Structure 1
Amino acid sequence: MAAAAEAVGEEVEAARWAEEEEERKEGLRRRRYGLVEYRALPGYLRDNEYILRHYRCEWPLPQVLLSAFSIHNETLNVWTHLIGFFIFLVLTIYTATKVPNVVDLQSLQHLPDVLRKADLHKIQTELVACLPSLPHLSDLQKMKDELKSSWNSIEVLPSLSRWHLLELVSSCLPHRFTHSNETSLSVLQSMKEDIANLIAPQLIRPIPRWPFFAFLGGAMFCLLASSTCHLLSCHSRRLAYIMLRLDYAGIAALIATSFYPPVYYSFMCYPFFCNLYLSLITMLGVATIAFSLLPVFQNPEFRTIRACLFFGMGASGVIPVIHKLILFWHQPEALHTTGYEVLMGLFYGIGALVYATRVPERWMPGKFDIAGHSHQLFHVLVVAGAYTHYHAGLVYLKWRNLQGC
């Protein structure tokens, strides 16, 4: 009896062991190919304890790539920045192909009608007569010679800006037409800026656009790196480590390159301050990227420190903005660009605050697992801030194209 009972016990134990092994294998299959809860995650994937379900965990790479088109708690994190990347790719192509040709085109739409009312030969004669009174006479002498021969054969001159042309047309020609009838003077006044904008593109080289394209490149790098990080980090510990480093580097690159257009175009006529501010923000960006490479920087307890570091890096831009306002307080473009920059700062600042405090999921854990949690809101605010800064860059380009130094 004892032997029979022992045999039965062994069979029961073997059956229980086989059942447990099957459950373990099933759990492993689910862990690799299905969505799991927060408590089933390994330590390196645990970041937000208020998001409870719908995690991918150590999936094979093909499954990870295909998961971009399935529903889980990273789906919107992937697509909010991937769509942002394509938006900025289109903006970059548009800027490279269209912006140099569309600056102030609206002011030229009525130019043919204005010219039909004016005595173009007389305007040309008076413009040539004004040239000896202008600065940079040695450079302008070539323009004078060309104007005498043909209005349309003006060659490129390196040191003349639209601002000089506006001074020429607005200060010289009206004075010379003082004794003309009021109709001619009125027509001349109405076409001052039109003539300047018409001939200026033929007289000057466009201002450097590399700071603007540096910002666009930084934005695209940040958005693509972030999207890739959220898609691939669930594959393995090693890949998660690499992707997070890339993500932090992208954030630092976006913040640093966002400084380039406002600093360069605000202080392009003040080389010392231009080089000083550009050097400082570049060094701060490199230091932030270097610090983000430290393994300890990835730990969840450093979440607030990460947010504060990036926020502080962005807040350092207050200094050149104030300096710009002091130098150009009388220029409407300075106020216009500052308004865009304040709005951009608000988007970034609120995004950093939401990211650090984990709002709203901390108020209702598990309710925002798929949509609406803090990281998704942070992504949307980053794209909004970068898009706002793009419009500020367009104002800077138009300002410097029209005024020069």
Structure 2
Amino acid sequence: MGAEDSNLMENEGGCRGREGKGRRLWKKVKYQLVEYHSLPGYLRDNEYILGHYRSEWPIKQVLLSMFTIHNETLNVWTHLVGFFIFLALTIYTAMKIPKVVDLNSLQHFPDILMKPDLQKLQSELLTCLPSIPDLHRLREEISSWHLKEYLYNCLPHSVKEDLANMIAPLMIRPITRWPFFAFLGGAMFCLLASSICHLLSCHSERMAYIMLRLDYAGIAALISTSFYPPVYYSFMCYPFFCNLYLGFITVLGIATILVSLLPVFQNPEFRTIRASLFFGMGLSGAAPILHKLYLFWGQPEVFHTTGYEILMGVLYGIGALVYATRIPERWMPGKFDIAGHSHQLFHILVVAGAYVHYRAGLVYLRWRDLQGC
């Protein structure tokens, strides 16, 4: 091989090496974060967040970006962690909160477990209940008040009132759990949809269009299903009002989702209208809450649940206000690109508000389990 051929091969090898390095460098540059002014129009939503954007990345890089730092990282993880929190709460609720208390599950009832004389109470109860005639018929045919009377007459004076009031309604009418689990399902759907939306929307305009509608549907589902436990358990003894309120909020939620499907609804100038629509949807819950207070004024559970609901409304309201006004990044553009901007604060407040509502739901279950209608 001559010197000329050797030089030619070296040049070709050098070219291939430079091309390989160039491709690697271009790959790194191509998937670098960009600034706001470099974004396509459909990704421009908040002009106060100046940098650290992903723009039109392939789906593989988009998925991997959930483990890297950019201005959507905390938006993804705040609601993804919230989803797993509510998944754990759902499993816990299904396993730990019984559908009905009977003789075989009394040893698991928390109020009894706290008693120091558990064995004595169980013995007294097991002695008393077989003396009640036709116990199975009583569960189906007579009122909770009659079973309380039987229990009250046969139990020792020291425990008769507490046990009678606690056990009688539970043995006769198990309280359905579906409204509570509907709320938990709505919360999980909202949180997961939001997390996926923030992760995938930078892929393409088509993907952003689909993901944003999924996000709006999740918000409407959370608000709608949040009404189910308070409305159902407050008005379960008043079927007309129960169906009226549940029907109204369900129709309003569906209507909100349909409006959210309109392409014009996504334009940045409609940000305040979007927040106001969802805020007004939540505000409509004032009617059943005031009605509940009127019907059950004086009962501690009513004030307890109303306090939780007010706190939930405050958290959601502050979140919507922060989202609409873009605080704090509007005060210092570029300073909150990675952490602390309004959408991240909104996410945290949503998770906190949903958890407060979960606590209210537990109070509703305990109230109706112990008292029935």
Please indicate the TM-score interval, normalised by the length of the shorter structure: 0.7 to 0.9
Counterpart of 1:145, as a letter, is D
Corresponding position of 1:392: 360
Contact 2:71 2:338 in 1 (8 A): yes
Sort the Cα spacing of 1:124 and 1:278 in 2 relative to 1 into closer, same or farther, 3 A: closer
The Cα of 1:222 is off from its aligned counterpart by 0.3
Confirm or deny that 1:157 pairs with 2:139.
yes
Equivalent residue runs for 1:44-83 within 5 Å: 44-83=42-81
The Cα of 1:47 is off from its aligned counterpart by 0.3
The Cα of 1:208 is off from its aligned counterpart by 1.2
TM-score w.r.t. the length of structure 1 is 0.78
Confirm or deny that 1:372 pairs with 2:336.
no
Which one of the candidate residues 271, 274, 280 is aligned to 2:248? Answer: 280
Which one of the candidate residues 297, 319, 338 is aligned to 1:329? Answer: 297
1:248-286, Cα deviation, whole Å (9 max, x unpaired): 010000000000000000000000000000000001000
Confirm or deny that 1:246 pairs with 2:214.
yes
Counterpart of 2:75, as a letter, is N
Contact 1:225 1:250 in 2 (8 A): yes
SS for the counterpart of 1:303 is helix
2:125 and 2:97 map into 1 onto residues whose CA distance is 32
Contact 1:354 1:377 in 2 (8 A): yes
Q: Tell me the percent identity.
A: 69
Which one of the candidate residues 141, 145, 153 is aligned to 2:134? Answer: 145
SS for the counterpart of 1:157 is helix
1:163 and 1:81 map into 2 onto residues whose CA distance is 46
Contact 1:337 1:392 in 2 (8 A): yes
1:235 and 1:379 map into 2 onto residues whose CA distance is 22
The Cα of 1:360 is off from its aligned counterpart by 0.3
Corresponding position of 1:39: 37
Larger CA Rg, structure 1 vs 2: 1
1:17-52, Cα deviation, whole Å (9 max, x unpaired): xxxxxxxx9998677411000000000000000000
Equivalent residue runs for 1:76-115 within 5 Å: 76-100=74-98, 105-109=109-113, 110=115, 112=118, 114-115=120-121
1:207 and 1:317 map into 2 onto residues whose CA distance is 23
SS for the counterpart of 1:49 is coil
Give aligned pairs, total.
Answer: 343
Contact 1:162 1:401 in 2 (8 A): no
Which one of the candidate residues 229, 240, 250 is aligned to 1:261? Answer: 229
1:332 and 1:204 map into 2 onto residues whose CA distance is 23
1:172-229, Cα deviation, whole Å (9 max, x unpaired): 569xxxxxxxxxxxx514342225545664x334211111111001000000000000
The Cα of 1:161 is off from its aligned counterpart by 6.7
Extract structure 1 runs of 4+ deviating beyond 2 A: 25-32, 101-107, 109-121, 154-170, 189-192, 194-201
Task: Give structure 2 stretches of 5+ with no counterpart.
Answer: 1-22, 102-107
Contact 2:190 2:215 in 1 (8 A): yes
Contact 1:156 1:205 in 2 (8 A): no
Sort the Cα spacing of 1:385 and 1:119 in 2 relative to 1 into closer, same or farther, 3 A: closer
Corresponding position of 1:358: 326
The Cα of 1:112 is off from its aligned counterpart by 3.2
Corresponding position of 2:281: 313
Task: Give structure 1 stretches of 5+ with no counterpart.
Answer: 1-24, 129-143, 147-153, 175-186
